Amino acid sequence: MRRMFHRLMQFSQKHRAGAATLEFTIVLPLFFLLCLVIWQLIVVGMAIMDTQAALRDAVKLAATTGDTKKAIEQGKSSFGTSNQYELTSLKVEIKDNKVHASAKTKIPVLFTSALPYTYENTAEAPVVQNDQGAFLARGIEGPLLSSGGILGPPLRNMRITSKFGYRIDPVYGGGAFHGGLDFKAPAGTPIYAAESGTVIRSGPAGGYGNVIVIDHGNGLLTLYAHMYSHGIFVRAGDTVKRGDPIGAVGSAGKSTGPHLHFEVHVGTYGNRVNPLPYLQGATVASR
């Protein structure tokens, strides 16, 4: 490559005639073309990311509320507005307890809308319902949806060591209902408010050790447990913003080691639902 360039330069020196040198006739147009290609790649990348955001948020909303119309609106607003590319279709349907969404995005090639490239993608998720088949988050709007239907991460690194649902009790044995998710983390790891709201409870709570409960309005609450008493940074009545540090991971109460027990309550305090559909980026720890 370098040798070829060297030869080109020699050629250029030999055949230099007036202003029409190699630099202007070949190198500059090549550079310009390279810039165009890079710009094109950036536009394609952004279009793909926006399409995926639209799909993800539409599916999440449809899975928790069953409202496909609102899900499409949410998806479109998550896609945002760009004058480079356009979301030409977004379809959301619920079939056999599954949400299926598909999106098409038209991306112009080298600024000419005459030659568009269409990016297509689909997403699927199980519908989140309670025993009676009612959608758990019906009517939940406001703070939950202001951030695309997704809560902020309560821990920077969400490694799930125990899922929501029936399980073998780790302390007493036997079957027990686990009303939240457990995230293993070293003692002292910061815990963040999953969404803005008002702290309604902060302090000792039996097997939970200590708890913090935040009311996010519109019937959405989150609960954080097992902090030590010195690992609680907020008091009842405090208002917190999404992402504010509210405490530190501990192992107080009925606990086998430092972890955060995290719950999502919907509709009313005590109606615990699986927090997983409200989170993004949580992984199941291999232990």
Binding mask 131-170 for Zn ion (x = CB under 5 A): ----------------------------------------
184 is an interface residue for Zn ion by CB under 5 A: no
Give the Cα-Cα-Cα angle 159, 255, 163 (nearest 5 degrees).
40
Nearer to Zn ion, 76 or 254 (CB): 254
The span from the CA of 285 to the CA of 134, in Å, is 31
- Closest distance to Zn ion from the beta carbon of 186 (Å): 17
Question: In which residue are the tokens 């073998």 written?
Answer: 168
Six token digits for residue 243: 């992402």
Question: Looking at beta carbons only, is 67 or 182 nearer to Zn ion?
Answer: 182
Cβ 165 to Zn ion shortest distance, Å: 11
Bridge partners of residue 191, in order along the sequence: 247
Reduced to 3 states, what is the DSSP secondary structure of residue 72?
A: helix
HSE-CB of 133 using CA atoms within 13 angstroms: 2
Residues 95-134 interacting with Zn ion (rule: CB under 5 A): none
Q: Kindly state the number of chain residues that form the binding site for Zn ion, as judged by CB under 5 A.
A: 2
- Give strand pairing partners of 259: 184, 250
Task: Report the C-alpha gap between 52 and 77 in whole angstroms.
Answer: 12
Residue pair 100/63 in contact (Cβ under 8 Å)? The answer is: no
Tell me if 261 contacts Zn ion by CB under 5 A. Answer: yes
Stretch that binds Zn ion, among 1-9, 31-39, 180-188, 241-249 (CB under 5 A): 180-188
112 Cβ contact partners less than 8 Å away, ≥ 6 residues apart = none
Judged by beta carbon, residue 216 or residue 261, the one nearer Zn ion is 261
Residues in the chain: 287
Pairing type for strands 190-192 and 259-266 reads unpaired
Which single residue brings its beta carbon nearest to Zn ion?
A: 261
- Whichever of 30 and 176 has its CB closer to Zn ion, that residue is 176
Residue with Cβ nearer Zn ion (56 or 261): 261
CA distance 87 to 81: 9
CA 103, CA 117: separation in Å to the nearest integer?
A: 14
**Range in contact with Zn ion (rule: CB under 5 A) among 135-143, 178-186, 203-211, 235-243:** 178-186
CB-CB contact of 200 with 175 (8 Å): no
CB nearer to Zn ion: give 143 or 275. 275
> In the bound complex, what is the minimum distance in angstroms from residue 147's beta carbon to Zn ion?
24
228 CB neighbour count, 10 Å cutoff: 18
| The binder of Zn ion chosen from 57, 67, 182, 215 (CB under 5 A) | 182
Closer residue to Zn ion, CB minimum distance, 50 or 182: 182
Judged by the rule CB under 5 A, the positions of this chain that interact with Zn ion are: 182, 261
